[in-house]
Amino acid sequence: MDFSFTKKEEKFRTELRTWLEANLPEGWLEGKRDLPEDLDEYSRVLRAWQHTLYEGGWAAIAWPKEYGGRGASLMEEIIYHQEMVRVKAPPLINYIGIHMVGPTLIDIGTDEQKERYLKKILTGEEIWCQGYSEPGAGSDLTGLKTRAVKDGDHWLINGQKVWTSFGHVADKCFLLTRTSTHPEKKHRGITVFMMDMHQPGVETLPIVQMDGHSEFNEVYMTDAVATDADIVGQVDSGWHVLIALMLHERTGIGAELFTLEKQFNDTVELAQQYKVNGKPLIENPAIRQKLASFYARVRGSLLNYYKNLTTTIKNGQPGAETSIDKLVVTELNQALSAFAVEIQGHQGVLVDKDAVADPKWQHLFLASFGQTIGGGTSEVQRNTIGERVLGLPKDMGR
């Protein structure tokens, strides 16, 4: 592995930095980064940022040029993520559309579907969520009960999804349904639809999380309608569509490692500024030892991510090793944010305006539990790593 960047790649970095300095929201680089609390205004601001990225050609750099991307190399993607983390760029409201649905449609979708959806994903005109998890099914996506039944020229969809990220702002849903009641195997008889979220029969109810935010949702479908043109892949053959999308998803999650590196640096800064008995915490040997341990874990995780990227470059597509990145980034994020709260002592229980230090740490810690569940739980990732990376026997509990 060679971790150095070529002149061409450094030129790419300079081009992106110049563009960010000219196009980030006013005051953003100077620290004015508060986003609106009101949901409609929040959505409007982030859709506008998505459109700004599109106009600059930075909405989906990894997509092929013919579909509005830059055909960027994986190394350029690394630089892109590094620079976005460096300036703490506004969050990507169409994350699922850009990193999961779009790449999957490019791989599997029909020409009509690419024409219909890809540009609107790039511009932020249509925001996407994914309808996978269901009550009672846990992480077993083959246990889904949402049914789609052919009725003349249409499909009628009935069922419930839960933990649907971005469902409260989404225009479209990448929906997993059961279309066969007696499949030979559980992963057969599944069909993926692209469902309109604004139609009658679709109700979205935000779930208030323990950090006070409502990013997850319940979605109820009662005779919601879709057509054959809304199917991705073939009827009853949605499992391979799902696998393709999840590989893209885990590659995107792995890129969050750069955010983790920034989070570690912020933790060091917290220990330098936060004082106990008049002395900065950073002077406490136990704190320094713990930070050193975190540094080693973050650096090790980053090097492993680079190793997986090298494998992806050689093979042309991500493999099961991406589960390592997903597992590591979410669990390390949880441990690091828990440590940042812990070192604040009893004041660590204070949140928002009552917090003594930056209240982001309390929110990061509380939100971290959802991240170890979304996109496949840590237990699922461990099974994937054991069976498909290490070649161990299948989990006897399944």
**94-107 residue pLDDT tens:** 999 998 999 999 99
26 annotated active-site: no
Local confidence band at 155 (pLDDT 50, 70, 90 cut-offs):
very high
Among residues 263, 245, 210, 258, the alpha carbon closest in space to that of 370 is found at 210
Instruction: Please give the Cα distance from 133 to 112 (Å, whole number).
Output: 28
Which candidate in 76, 126, 134, 249 is catalytic?
249
Among residues 230, 96, 240, 101, the alpha carbon closest in space to that of 164 is found at 96
This prediction has a pTM of 0.84
Local confidence band at 333 (pLDDT 50, 70, 90 cut-offs):
very high
Phi, psi of 21 (to 5 degrees): -60, -30
Q: Determine the pLDDT at residue 250.
A: 53
Local confidence band at 34 (pLDDT 50, 70, 90 cut-offs):
confident
Helices (H), 255-284: 257-273
253 has a pLDDT exceeding 60: no
51 has a pLDDT exceeding 80: yes
Q: What's the mean pLDDT when you consider all of the chain? A: 89
List pLDDT tens digits, range 226-248: 999 999 999 998 988 988 887 66
11 has a pLDDT exceeding 90: yes
Q: Which of 27-36, 186-195, 257-266, 283-292 has the highest mean pLDDT?
A: 283-292
List pLDDT tens digits, range 335-378: 999 999 999 988 888 877 787 777 888 989 998 988 888 777 88
Q: What contacts 40, CB < 8 A, 6 or more positions away? A: none
Range with lowest mean pLDDT among 69-83, 118-132, 156-170 = 69-83
Instruction: Please give the Cα distance from 330 to 377 (Å, whole number).
Output: 10
